[in-house]
Amino acid sequence: MTRLTLALDVMGGDFGPSVTVPASLQALISNSELNLLLVGDPDAITPFLLDKADASQMERIRIIPAESVIAGDARASQAIRASKGSSMRVALELIKSGDAEACVSAGNTGALMGLAKMIVKPLEGIERPALMTVLPNQQRTKTVILDLGANVECDSTMLVQFAVMGSVMAEEVIGISNPRVALLNIGEEESKGLDNIRGAAAILKNTHAINYIGYLEGNDLLTGKTDVMVCDGFVGNVTLKTMEGVIRMFLSLLKSSGESGKQAWWLKWLGRILQKKLAKRFSHLNPDQYNGACLLGLRGIVIKSHGGANQRAFAVAIEQAVQAVQRQVPKRIAARLKAVLPKSD
């Protein structure tokens, strides 16, 4: 195995180093080939390393000092202007300088998107990078969905580019051959939806390198009817969050359903066992399990973690970065784009 170095913006997210540093240590245990550059305030980072990291972990960690942190609720344009020296920007610059092969941040999405475009640069032919994630589905396979909020408004060309990038992800990273690609819409008939979606459908129907299967509706997000679901960033963001909200509600109802006080102790005990079994059955749907959206369409790998990620979820985001590096995602997308997209006009 070749060694692999990631830059982590450990200051980002709702909990900062208290979550990101323990998650880093966890990732080092799971991946022996991993080295981590923890970018942020050394004084905030070290308390979570002292007595927690062993010598072999410490050897594979370097703290890269950064003076400031971009606030999670800052306006992206302002944040980018004042980003010099911030943990997010320093982490991204480590990709550019070749010191890191990917970057993970739980910080401000808009700022990450803007800075990544500025520093890591988009691939040739890509207007705007898109946020993509891989969801578990009912068929126990995976569905790629994008865009999840990088672009609130998208024209047909952007949707087509997302379809290409999603298709590459499904094929190269999940290993689905000739992956099915659908556009998320409010009906399956051709006349449905918004102009940009109908425009993208017209282009995709004539793009033979993409296995375009038509429109699908929101209820098909988890049925596994498609391998790639394409939508604009506004719809993708609302859809994903709605889905996560419902799943979290179910998981918490399941968890609390063993806690009724009126049963005999043995019934309670059995109830708890069965409820644990059920929770396990549903665990592959837990949003923590698929944390980490990949910013696709860049010359490097940038992973956006949920701001509210816990330790386990942030470790999953780090793992996503590892996989993206190993599968050489940007290189593969670039190659496919060259074959599929018309010369920019």
Binding site for a second copy (CB under 8 A): 73, 75, 138, 149, 152-153, 184, 186, 188-189, 191, 193-194, 217-223, 231, 233-235, 237-250, 253-254, 257, 267, 270-271, 274-275, 277-278, 281-282
Q: Which residue, 220 or 227, is less far from a second copy as judged by CB?
A: 220
Q: Which residue, 2 or 191, is less far from a second copy as judged by CB?
A: 191
Q: Which residue, 173 or 221, is less far from a second copy as judged by CB?
A: 221
Q: Which long-range contacts (CB under 8 A, 24 or more apart) does 175-180 make?
A: 176/141, 176/142, 176/227, 178/211, 179/144, 179/211, 179/227, 179/228, 180/211, 180/213, 180/225, 180/226, 180/227, 180/228
Q: Quick check: 131 and 169 in contact, CB under 8 A?
A: no
Least separation, in Å, of the C-beta of 267 and a second copy?
8
Least separation, in Å, of the C-beta of 128 and a second copy?
16
Q: Which residue, 59 or 188, is less far from a second copy as judged by CB?
A: 188
Q: Which residue, 82 or 282, is less far from a second copy as judged by CB?
A: 282
Least separation, in Å, of the C-beta of 184 and a second copy?
6
Least separation, in Å, of the C-beta of 266 and a second copy?
10
Least separation, in Å, of the C-beta of 256 and a second copy?
9
Q: Which residue, 31 or 275, is less far from a second copy as judged by CB?
A: 275
d(CA 6, CA 38): 9
Least separation, in Å, of the C-beta of 116 and a second copy?
18
CB atoms inside a 10 Å sphere around CB 84: 10
Question: Torsion over CA of 245, 247, 248 and 253, rounded to 10 degrees?
Answer: 120
Least separation, in Å, of the C-beta of 96 and a second copy?
28
